[in-house]
Each structure stands twice: as C-alpha cells, then as structure tokens.
Amino acid sequence: MQKNALLSVSDKSGLVPFAKALVEQHGYRLLSTGGTAKLLEQEGIPVTEVSDYTGFPEMMEGRVKTLHPKIHGGLLARRDKEDHMAAAAEHGIEMIDLVVVNLYPFEETVAKPDVTFELAIENIDIGGPSMLRSAAKNHASVSVVVDAADYDRVLAAMSDEAALLKLRRELALKVFQRTSSYDGAIAAYLEAQVAEAPDLGEISGIPAKLDLQLPQVQSLRYGENPHQKAALYGNFFDCFEQLQGKELSFNNIIDITAATYLIGEFQKPTVAILKHTNPCGVASAETLVEAWEQAFVTDQQAPFGGIIVVNQTMDADLAAIISKIFCEVIIAPDFTPAAREIFAKKKNLRLMTVKGSLPADSLQEMRSVVGGVLMQDRDTMPDRPSDWKIVSKRQPSDEEMRAMIFGWNVVKHVKSNAIVYAGCERTLGVGAGQMSRVDSSKIAVWKAGEAGLPLEGSIVASDAFFPFADGLIAAAEAGAVAAIQPGGSVRDDEVIAAADERNMVMVFTGKRHFKH
C-alpha cells in the first residue's frame, strides 16, 4: 500500500534531506502546500499539491487548503476498524501515515515592536493545529512531527515497528504541548489587546487566566540544596550566553537574574558584587577598575563564592584583579580576548554575557504558593528625584543628592528590611533581610566598620519608612547626614523632627521598595 506523508512547514530547516530520505529510502509519496511544495519542487523532490489531491482549490489567501475530509479522514481513520476503512474506500480517502507541520510564527510575530493587530491575526494558524491534533490523536497509526529536531529520530525508527510506535506516543505528547502553548500565546496577546482598548480602561498586565507552557531547557543537578530536584524552563538562554565554566546551578540562575536587574539601574561604569541575591558592594566610577576597588572594599568577604556583574566590556586589567579571588559567576556585556584568556585558567568559573538588551521591563514575577502562584509586575517603575519631597529644614547638597540617588537605586534590590549606607556613587555598608529595620542598620554599620569605611558624611537609604525615630537616630549616630525613605508612617512628624534636631536632610520618595 502506498505510504503518504503530508509536509507543510513554516520553519524549513532540515526539511529537504528529510523529504529526500522519505522518498528515496522509505517509498513515501509527499503531499504538500504553498511554499513547502515549491521548495521540494525546486530541489527535484516529487511532490503532490494538496489541492490536486483533494480536488478542492486552495482559496481565501490560503486560509482554506487542508481543512478537507480527504486530509482529516486520512489522518483520523483507525486502521483496525473495518467500518472506518470501508468509509475511507467509499469516499476515495487514502491513509496519511506521516504529518510534518510546524505552525505559523505567531509568537515571533507579536514579539516585534511594530506588529499590527491585523498581521498578528493573519499569523494565527488554523489548518496546522488541526492536522497536528488529528494525527496526534491517531498516533497508533500516524507519525506526527512538530519539531525539526525529531527528523533523524523518525527516520531511524522507521525500520523498527516497535521503536516507531513508542516514538509516536512521545511525538503525540509534543504536539499537544506545542498546540497548548500556541493557543496560550494567542489568548495572552488577545487579552492584552482587549485590556488596551480605550473604553476598557488602563491595561493591568496581569492575565485573568494564567496558562503556562514552558519547555524544559536544562535539567539541573539539584535545587537550592542537594536533596531537592530542579530544572530550568523557558528562554533563559535566549537572554544569556555561557562562555565557560561548570553547568549553572539553581542558585546561580537566581543570582544571575538578581545581578542583571541590579546592574540595569546604572549608566556609568559600574561593578556590583552579590551574594544570595543581595548586593554586598556596588560602585560607579570613571573606569571599571576604579568601580571595582570601591565596591570590593565594602565587603571583602562577599565576593568569595559570589556573583560579580559589570555594565561594560571587561578588559584584562579588571580580569587580572578579579582572577585572584574565588567567585562563582562573572557577568558582563562582553569580555576582551585578553580577559577571556585570563579567566580560561579558572576552568570552573562561569562567564556569562548578556545577549543585547533584556526584556526586563516587561517581565512579571511569579512565586509558587500553597494551592497556586502569585504574580506581580517587576519593581521597575522609574524613581524620579523631581517627584521626591525634601521634608527636612536643611536642603541637600549636590553631592548628598547624588549619594541618595545612588543609595536608593541599590536599596530596592536588597532583601527587606533593607538599609544601605552610601557615599557619592558607592556603597559603604549594607544590612539585609532582618526582622527589624534597626537590626539591618546595625549590621550595615558593623559591615562598614569591618571594612574600615567611616560613615561620617554618608547617606542612609531605607526601602520602607522608619516606623519610629530610633532607626534614624541610630543612623545619625553612625555618621549619616542625610536619609532617603518612602515616608508614610503615622510617626513621620517625629522622624522629621529627629532629623531636624540633628541637622540631617530627609527626603521622602513616596514609593516603597519591599523585596521579600
């Protein structure tokens, strides 16, 4: 009996050698449509147009071509049922044994900044998912390929019926995973369009229904601890490239994300050192080497086993300095060849580059909770100093304002309760994750003392309001001359009065930056 394969793909990579093998090695007749058929003809591969097979012309700009009983009957007919086969014979329906379809590039289309709604709609595939689902439902008899990476596996299994049947079940699963994610992308896009409609108010960015279909891209050795299983899903490696070093761990990936978000706050050459997602030392300067010296001195223990991130190409000068200490990951837009040569001697060190600009502003954060997930927008709304209020009697100097801006950009990335002491474009002491804001302040002061960094003339930044004056008083006693905080406490008047009594500057930003 003649074996038939239907090929209709948007992504034509690897298709020609696969099609040749089907015809020359396995005796298939090829059915195809549009651009796929033209490609096969150009390559001298015999192919029958679907419209010639069905006797029904392709029409409506290609919207109607494979939605036909001779296609879906050939896919859905059960070979083990006499009535199915009799009906197929009566109506001239031949069996289709193999379907190779990948879908219109809807996700890629709507990701373009200039995409129109009309173009997005035209890139919604109808016939493709229908054929895939029909073939996948009848995978006991039909092989279905939605991923070009499976071409070689299918060809290898064709000589072994048992292996082919086992593979068909796996390929059917991939089909339903793909069509599910495809439908989810369409629904998400349309939901956003509805939310943007002028008569429906402001877009929220939070979907009414959350439907996630993310491919597993890496099975991790373990999670946060060796007894926890873990895997990475999604498109992380579309954003980063690993140049060398050991496989990334669960904790590395979380730290890399935190480091990338933090470094995005700064324009001047900046170095940030993080440990367990918390900034330990951050500085901006005229060169990365100068910035490193100021960031490193904030906490000379933190880089050991930590993450280092910079916002400019790293050269050999800084690479030579950093190579003297042990760290887990270094992230940069790029590394010079000389820097790469230096780091190549540290085989386990993970070097990461960022691929272009990250879509960080559009990302949302999710956390698993009992019975579901929480979703929120990332904390990316810009802080404008022009919107801040100086509530103290004394006005800040230019240098104090620059220090407060810098400290405020850092403190939003520190786990709450968060306190950052800073000078002009450098951290001096960081206190993170304590149950009391006063305790965070004490830790920050202690860290600065350990580093030999005097806090006289420093500023203090707090991610949330000072609930009592005691936190501000402790900062003043440590040497701070200015404080930046959201404000909003019922005791704001007491805190402002304490600042005025000590001739401190007090700035209210009106925006809290809790980070749990």
Q: Report, as residue numbers or ranges, the catalytic residues.
A: 137, 276
The whole-angstrom separation of Cα 426 and Cα 437 is 21
Where are the extended beta strands (E) located within 105-179?
143-145
Question: What residues have CB less than 8 Å from 219, skipping those under 6 apart?
Answer: 231, 232
Q: Are 388 and 508 in contact (CB under 8 A)?
A: yes
What burial class does residue 452 get, using C-beta atoms within 10 Å of its C-beta: 0-12 exposed, 13-18 middle, 19+ buried? exposed
Q: How far apart are the first and last CA of the chain?
A: 65
Q: Are 120 and 109 in contact (CB under 8 A)?
A: yes
Specify the residue for token string 């994750």: 433
Strand, helix or coil at 462?
strand
Q: Are 426 and 454 in contact (CB under 8 A)?
A: no
Q: How far does Cα 325 stand from its chain's mean position? A: 30
Specify the residue for token string 């040497």: 479
Q: How far does Cα 53 stand from its chain's mean position? A: 44
Q: Are 435 and 417 in contact (CB under 8 A)?
A: yes
Q: Which amino acid is at 188?
A: A
Cα–Cα distances in angstroms (integers) from residue 311 to residues 210, 270, 290, 319, 420, in the given order: 34, 6, 14, 14, 21
